[in-house]
Chains A and B, each alone.
Chain A
Amino acid sequence: MKKSTERARHQGDVFESIGRKLAAMTSGGSRRGWLLMFAFFALLSLIFLYTIMLVFTVGVGMLGINIPVAWGFPIINVVWWIGIGHAGTLISAILLLLRQGWRAPISRFAEAMTLFAAGIAGMMPIIHLGRPWFFYWLVPYPATMGVWPQWRSPLVWDFFAIATYITVSLLFWYLGLVPDLGSMRDRAKTKLGRRIYGVFALGWRGAASHWRRYQTAYLLIAGLATPLVVSVHSVIALDFAVTLVPGYHSQVFPPYFVAGALFSGFAMVLTLTIPMRRIFRLYDLITSDHLEVMAKIMLAAGLVVIYGYVIEYFLIWYDGDEYHIYLAFNRMFGPYAPYFWGMMFINVLLTQSLWFPKVRRSAGILFAVAVVLNVGMWLERYVIVIISTNRDFLPSSWNTSFGTWVDWSMLLGSLGLFFALFLLFIRAVPAISIFEEKELEYEHEHEESGRS
Chain B
Amino acid sequence: MSEQRLHGYLLEFADVEDLLEAARHVVGIGYRDVEAFTPFPVHELEDVLPPCSNPIAFWVLVGGLLGGLLGYGIQYYSAVIDYPYLVGGKPMHAWPAFIPVTFELTVLFGAFGAFLASIFANGLPQLHHPIFAAEDFDLASRDRFFLLIEACDKLFDAQRTRTQLENVKASQLHSVDLEES
Partners in one complex: yes
The residues of A with any CB-CB pair to B shorter than 8 Å are 4, 7-9, 11-13, 15-16, 19, 140, 146-152, 154, 156-157, 160-161, 163-164, 167-168, 171-172, 175, 179, 182-183, 185-187, 198-199, 202-218, 220-221, 224-225, 227-228, 231, 235, 238, 435-436, 438-439, 442
A171-B112, A175-B118, A210-B122 in contact; A228/B107 too (CB < 8 A)? yes
Chain B residue at minimum C-beta to C-beta distance from A198: B127
State in angstroms the CA–CA spacing of A175 and B117 once bound together: 12
Nearest chain B CB to A449 CB, angstrom units: 9
A8 pairs with B108, CB closer than 8 A: no
Nearest chain A CB to B136 CB, angstrom units: 11
State in angstroms the CA–CA spacing of A399 and B71 once bound together: 41
A225 pairs with B111, CB closer than 8 A: yes
A152-B87, A213-B54 in contact; A202/B124 too (CB < 8 A)? yes
Chain A residue at minimum C-beta to C-beta distance from B44: A446
A209 contacts which of B35, B83, B104 (Cβ < 8 Å)? B35
Nearest chain B CB to A96 CB, angstrom units: 13
B79 pairs with A203, CB closer than 8 A: no
Chain A residue at minimum C-beta to C-beta distance from B49: A208
A19-B39, A435-B40 in contact; A202/B111 too (CB < 8 A)? no
B52 pairs with A8, CB closer than 8 A: no
Does B6 reach chain A (CB closer than 8 Å)? no
A199: B residues at CB distance < 8 A:
127
Chain A residue at minimum C-beta to C-beta distance from B45: A208
A11-B15, A217-B114, A225-B111 in contact; A148/B142 too (CB < 8 A)? no
A4-B15, A4-B18, A156-B101 in contact; A439/B114 too (CB < 8 A)? no
B15: A residues at CB distance < 8 A:
4, 7-8, 11-12
B17: A residues at CB distance < 8 A:
4, 7
A224 pairs with B100, CB closer than 8 A: no
Chain B residue at minimum C-beta to C-beta distance from A168: B111
Q: Told that A210-B124, A213-B122 touch, could you supply 11 new A-B pairs with CB distance under 8 A?
A: A19-B143, A148-B83, A151-B78, A151-B79, A151-B101, A157-B101, A160-B100, A172-B111, A202-B124, A212-B41, A213-B52
A164: B residues at CB distance < 8 A:
104-105, 107-108
Q: Tell me which of A13, A216, A217 has the highest count of chain B C-beta atoms within 10 A of its own C-beta.
A: A217
Nearest chain A CB to B86 CB, angstrom units: 11
Chain B residue at minimum C-beta to C-beta distance from A443: B43
Chain B 33-59, CB-CB to A under 8 Å as 1, else 0, gives 001111111100110010010111100
B114 contacts which of A186, A202, A220 (Cβ < 8 Å)? A220
- Within B57-72, the residues touching A (CB, 8 Å) are 57, 60, 64
Chain B 113-155, CB-CB to A under 8 Å as 1, else 0, gives 0110111011011111101100000111111100000000000
State in angstroms the CA–CA spacing of A231 and B107 once bound together: 11
A11-B14, A211-B41 in contact; A151/B98 too (CB < 8 A)? yes
Chain B residue at minimum C-beta to C-beta distance from A182: B141
State in angstroms the CA–CA spacing of A168 and B105 once bound together: 11
B142: A residues at CB distance < 8 A:
15-16, 19, 183, 186-187
Q: Nearest 9 A-B pairs (CB), nearest first?
A: A217-B118, A8-B15, A148-B78, A202-B125, A209-B52, A157-B100, A15-B143, A8-B14, A183-B141
A8-B15, A215-B41 in contact; A224/B107 too (CB < 8 A)? yes
State in angstroms the CA–CA spacing of A217 and B105 once bound together: 18
A216 pairs with B118, CB closer than 8 A: yes
Chain A residue at minimum C-beta to C-beta distance from B50: A209
List 13 A–B pairs whose Cβ atoms lie within 8 Å, in order of A's numbering: A4-B18, A7-B17, A15-B39, A16-B142, A151-B97, A183-B39, A203-B126, A205-B129, A207-B37, A211-B41, A213-B56, A220-B110, A435-B40
A204: B residues at CB distance < 8 A:
124, 141
A435: B residues at CB distance < 8 A:
39-41
State in angstroms the CA–CA spacing of A271 and B110 once bound together: 33
State in angstroms the CA–CA spacing of A221 and B108 once bound together: 10
B111 pairs with A231, CB closer than 8 A: no
B160: A residues at CB distance < 8 A:
none
A206 pairs with B108, CB closer than 8 A: no
Chain A residue at minimum C-beta to C-beta distance from B90: A152
B143 pairs with A12, CB closer than 8 A: yes
Chain A residue at minimum C-beta to C-beta distance from B83: A148
Nearest chain A CB to B155 CB, angstrom units: 19
Chain B residue at minimum C-beta to C-beta distance from A1: B169
Does B31 reach chain A (CB closer than 8 Å)? no
Chain B 67-98, CB-CB to A under 8 Å as 1, else 0, gives 00000001100110011000110100010011
B83 pairs with A202, CB closer than 8 A: no
A160 contacts which of B101, B122, B140, B144 (Cβ < 8 Å)? B101
B138 pairs with A186, CB closer than 8 A: yes
A206: B residues at CB distance < 8 A:
37-39, 140-141
A221 pairs with B105, CB closer than 8 A: no
Does B103 reach chain A (CB closer than 8 Å)? yes
Nearest chain A CB to B93 CB, angstrom units: 10
A221: B residues at CB distance < 8 A:
111, 114-115
B129: A residues at CB distance < 8 A:
203, 205
Does B158 reach chain A (CB closer than 8 Å)? no
A148: B residues at CB distance < 8 A:
78-79, 82-83
State in angstroms the CA–CA spacing of A12 and B40 once bound together: 13
Does B178 reach chain A (CB closer than 8 Å)? no
